[in-house]
Structure 1
């Protein structure tokens, strides 16, 4: 019996060994073959050349400056002995005296280790004209590797900086999200460069080589080409972009020039900054100056600046009023210059009032009284819902990163955010674009295009992505009744710029009629006891109102929207009317206005 048990155990052990040998020799063959291949096959990646960015006339906006990077062989240091490294650095400096020895040493030591068998990048960029006379001699040195390394260049410097954005060195978080950046080194950080980064940067090529135990190449076993030069053509016309930069002079604010279908021909957030300073790394002093400036040059005011829209919102608000069922286009209110509600007085900008006022007069002359009184009948819920449907309080969908949504206040919004009830006085403030109502200039341009055409376009900067046109489909957001009565608002907007009583009439000098709406958005409250408003120009700069003027033209055949915001500029028509007029005349000079 004992013998049988021993033989049984012996048989089980042998069967187990045979099964294990079979598994290792046959079934795991592929697994160990792959491990073996990974130990002997090395993959070298080649970085693609980043695509260029061109304007609509194919004028280069972002290009690649030809140059080279320098790498040193690994293991040039042993413990505390860095004599071999110092020798190589001294050689590099003898060839290119402008190189910084300390930076080279620091870059090398950070990446050198016993486990790293790859060359270590120590100089990111040397201009083509500098390296070419030295290339043959330096390339003979086994410890030095010279590789092509284009550098991003922005020929127009600061012009259009907030639209274009820039590339800079990728940080570790970005590399973790996209491992290819370990090879590419640079990534889009802002603007179009960031939004379309994955397209512009292309796809790396691969070269698979067989190496021996000493990491010496034996043969090439495979290769795939890089997918590169993914160029991007924008709707921007740099002639127009340069023009708006010049005419805005030293003002702070934003300009948007967009066709009524959403294609952006020019847009600026001012002040601007030179994009080229970011490519190789900006100094801490330069960074702090940008970040701490009261004019916020690093903020893209086009999509990240939040402002009360002031009277510019009265066009959409008026359309909501006359289609509400509470009011219509024939409804009138007596404007006396102020309205009393509870213990507060709500003033009109015109001290003596406007007299009997209907919707046309209310928009042409920007009568606050009309909108105060109408808001109490229409109510904040209809007002809020209508403005959101018309594009405020949500993203426009523009092809730029990190767009802000702004605020359209309502009962529900206030209850959720502040846990407080809504008051009628807040309804009055909202009706004239004040209080908690906040918009971006981009939202206001889109809102104006809706007033011009009856459809809400998707603003877009890109024109062609490779060979594919980019044409987002506009949104149909107006009700049938709103579409029917939209011409009433359009007629009033024309009057703003052309009627002798229009708030922009004195400042508009276009070669053809345009339509629009001015706005003076207060940044400082006016005390209840104040009877006479202080002149804007006599106020401290930061207490002055923001000046808005948003327009479309030609008035009878809408083709373009021009929206201008001047921070602390005072009255909209007075400050922005001339700027808007010059832009339309420039559009005409460039042949974009079809009469």
Structure 2
């Protein structure tokens, strides 16, 4: 009896196990195997959106997408059986578009095709609409070829604002690893705003779920989600002003920035020499690349944020604020004899005969070096450096451009870390006139000049979505009044260093700067004229301005590399820019 019961129990357990397995296979596993089955017959095809346009503040297109066509070819045509079909396709393409050689097309096909590839091979990415349209019917009827719409990035103003706008290029393997969408678009922002705002400009992917048969032929579309193309970028630049500046800066190298002093909007900004961004989209020749890369004028460098220069005398307003904030009286003055002797070295003023008795206003108006030599020794480099740091030097401005440099705002600790050497008082003297170790970017100078005009430090930007409230700094308004009076005199009074060259419809405040590129030997009794120096040994010519003086609205900063004196070189250009601002209605009378 017991044995019979054991047999019955075993049979029941076996039945339970079998039923449980049947339940699992028929019901629980259904979802899993259904998903596997779907993968066998449902294909998801991703669709990249058209890249967003870049427009100026008035809606003028600065970067667009030209319409054309791409040619893709059926995979697996390399076999002996299909070889003639592939050769026929390649011959037809080469016949109608001779720039594509048969051998190169075959080589490209063999490189991209594989036994595991089921999608068509991308043989030609883009042929312009006008070139292809008359042949569309022919190519669309050839078996093994697919003709699809394609776009190519185009910059209609060519080299205008090229560094700011930037360009796109083919996405590399590394790009694709970091940005999945670029796998489907094939391009990615490589420089300027194209790179900084790449995520916005590229939009978001769409897709189609397509039912296919065993031969990978499409049967029907099951689901479709369109790409998100709300991806245009309207920036603060006015291309009319940008073109005007380019026309007036011909055959020079350097940088110019026009910025709203209150909100940091940049109306125009250019790094010279410029280049045509379109050459990077279509592919640049080795000769073009070598010529640009080896140029002493560095056309590839975005000098607005990546050019580092000694500021020279345009630094003197900031130094004046540092001196006043750290204890010097507004009535402080020195007697300038033309030089200051420290040990065995003479630190000379630019005016050999000296400026006589000089206070803050006169020192700014006539750019007296000796005043700053002597005053800086009373305050010291560390306190000066701290104040200059508050004015933005040695820090990024936050402008929406890639890889912004911070420059050098030197002090004792900086030199110890950099060179493991002590700081000498002669270095304080040189730093007080914007020379020595001090290095700045033109964008830092534009921001600092806006502060001198308003008492607030704005954040420069090209896209309104990047706006941040200006930073309020703790400076005595009386000190700023002294600085502004000195800058007014520079542009308007008889001995002002820019007065003869800065003739505009707008009343301006300004400061000139002549930043030395080479050291003048102590044996040089009389300084050579800039015109007597070799071109690349000439000083950089700075001019920073704001206007109108009574109601500041804009700052214009100009740097002409190896331009000599800031007033004579940059003054006429800057005056024309303010007149253009007036003409365009940005400055009200």
TM-score by length of 1: 0.94
Q: Secondary structure at the match of 1:287?
A: helix
Q: CA deviation at 1:103?
A: 3.2
The match for 1:359 is: 360
**1:497-522 Cα distance to aligned partner (Å, 9 max, x none):** 11111111111111121001111101
Q: What is the correspondence of 1:264-279 to structure 2 with a 5 Å cutoff?
A: 264-279=266-281
Aligned to 2:321: 319
Go from structure 1 to structure 2 and tell me whether the alpha carbon gap of 1:531 and 1:210 turns closer, same or farther (over 3 Å shift).
same
**How do residues 148-167 of structure 1 correspond to structure 2 at under 5 angstroms?**
148-167=149-168
Q: CA deviation at 1:235?
A: 1.4
Counterpart-to-counterpart distance in 2, 1:271 and 1:252: 5
Conservation of the 8 A alpha-carbon contact between 2:453 and 2:552: yes
| 1:65 to partner: Cα distance | 1.1
Q: Give the structure 1 partner of residue 52 of structure 2.
A: 51
Confirm or deny: 8 A CA contact 1:77 1:83 kept in the other structure.
no
SS of the aligned residue for 2:457 comes to: coil
Distance 1:27 1:505, change over 3 A: same
What residue ranges of structure 1 are gaps of 5+ in the alignment?
464-468
CA–CA distance in structure 2, aligned partners of residues 417 and 6 of structure 1: 89
Q: Does 1:117 align with 2:113?
A: no
Following superposition, the deviation at residue 433 of structure 1 comes to 0.4
Q: Following TM superposition, by how much is the alpha carbon of 1:17 offset from its aligned partner in structure 2, in angstroms?
A: 7.8
Mapped partners of 2:442, 2:112: distance in 1: 46
Distance in 1, Cα, partners of 2:231 & 2:7: 74
Task: State the Cα distance separating 1:165 from its structure 2 match.
Answer: 0.9
The 3-state SS of whatever aligns with 1:426 is: helix
Write the mapping of 1:49-128 to structure 2, written as runs, cut at 5 A: 49-78=50-79, 82-128=83-129
Number of the residue aligned with 1:474:
470
1:387 aligned onto 2:388 = yes
Over 3 Å counting, the alpha-carbon distance change for 1:42 and 1:483 in structure 2 is farther
Question: Equivalent residue for 1:584?
Answer: 578
SS in 2 for 1:507: coil
In the TM superposition, 1:278-357 aligns within 5 A as: 278-325=280-327, 327-357=328-358
Root-mean-square deviation (CA, aligned residues, Å) is: 2.4
Which position in structure 1 is the counterpart of 2:503?
Answer: 509
Structure 1 position 342, deviation (Å) = 2.3
**Alpha-carbon distance change, 320 to 81 in structure 1, aligned in 2, over 3 angstroms:** same
- Residue of structure 1 in register with 2:376 after alignment: 375
Tell which deviates more after alignment, 102-111 or 180-189: 102-111
Larger mean CA deviation between 83-92 and 242-251 belongs to 83-92
- Could you say which residue in structure 1 is the equivalent of 2:512? 518
Instruction: Return the alpha-carbon distance in structure 2 between the equivalents of residues 396 and 8 of structure 1.
Output: 82
CA distance 1:81–1:416, change in 2 (3 Å): farther
Assess if the C-alpha contact under 8 Å between 2:446 and 2:544 holds in 1. Answer: yes
1:48-104 deviation digits (Å, cap 9, x = unpaired): 111111112222211111111110011111279743321111122344444332332
Worse-superposed segment, 136-145 or 441-450: 136-145
Q: Post-superposition shift, 1:309? A: 0.4
Is the contact made by 1:77 and 1:84 (CA closer than 8 Å) also made in structure 2? no
Q: Structure 1's 509 and 351: CA in aligned 2 closer, same or farther, altered over 3 A? A: same
Shift of 1:12: 9.7
Deviation at 1:419, TM superposition (A): 1.7
Where does residue 466 of structure 1 map in the other structure?
none
Summarize the Cα distance change of 1:342–1:15 in structure 2 as closer, same or farther, 3 Å threshold: farther
Is 2:564 the partner of 1:556? Answer: no
Q: Which moved more, 1:16-25 or 1:28-37?
A: 16-25
Does the aligned pair in 2 maintain the 1:319–1:486 contact within 8 Å?
yes
Cα separation, 1, equivalents of 2:133 and 2:534: 58
Distance 1:530 1:215, change over 3 A: same
Structure 1 position 166, deviation (Å): 1.1
1:208-223 equivalences in 2 (<5 Å): 208-223=209-224
Which residue does the alignment assign to 2:193? 192
Aligned equivalent of 2:431: 430
Deviation at 1:394? 1.2
Q: CA 1:356 to 1:84, structure 2 compared with 1: closer, same or farther past 3 Å?
A: same
Secondary structure of 1:136's match?
helix
- Aligned 8 A contact 1:270 1:297 in 2: yes
CA contact (8 A) 2:400 2:466 kept: no
**Could you say which residue in structure 2 is the equivalent of 1:455?**
456
- CA-to-aligned-CA distance 1:302-340 (integer Å, 9 cap, x gap): 111000000111111101111212x02111112111112
- Report the CA distance shift for 1:352/1:147 in structure 2 as closer, same or farther (over 3 A): same
Other-structure match for 1:543: 537
Instruction: Give the stretch that moved more between structures: 526-535 or 429-438.
Output: 526-535
Aligned equivalents of 1:81, 1:69: Cα separation in 2? 22
CA 40–366 in structure 1, closer or farther in 2 if over 3 Å, else same: same
Superposed CA offset, 1:526-585 (max 9, x none): 112222111111001111111100100111111111101011111111211111111111
For the residue of structure 2 that corresponds to 1:249, the secondary structure is coil
User: Aligned partners of 1:486, 1:536: CA distance in 2, in Å?
Assistant: 33
In 1, Cα distance between the equivalents of 2:290 and 2:524?
40
Q: Kindly tell me the number of residue pairs found equivalent between the two proteins.
A: 587
- Between 1:209-218 and 1:25-34, the stretch displaced more is 25-34
SS of equivalent residue, structure 1 residue 488: helix
Secondary structure of 2:387's counterpart equals: helix
The alignment's TM-score, normalised by the length of structure 2, stands at: 0.95
Gaps of 5+ in 2: none
Q: Tell me the distance in 1 between the aligned counterparts of 2:366 and 2:35.
A: 79
Which residue of structure 2 aligns with residue 177 of structure 1?
Answer: 178
Deviations 1:114-156 (A, max 9, x none): 1100011111111112222222332223311111111111111
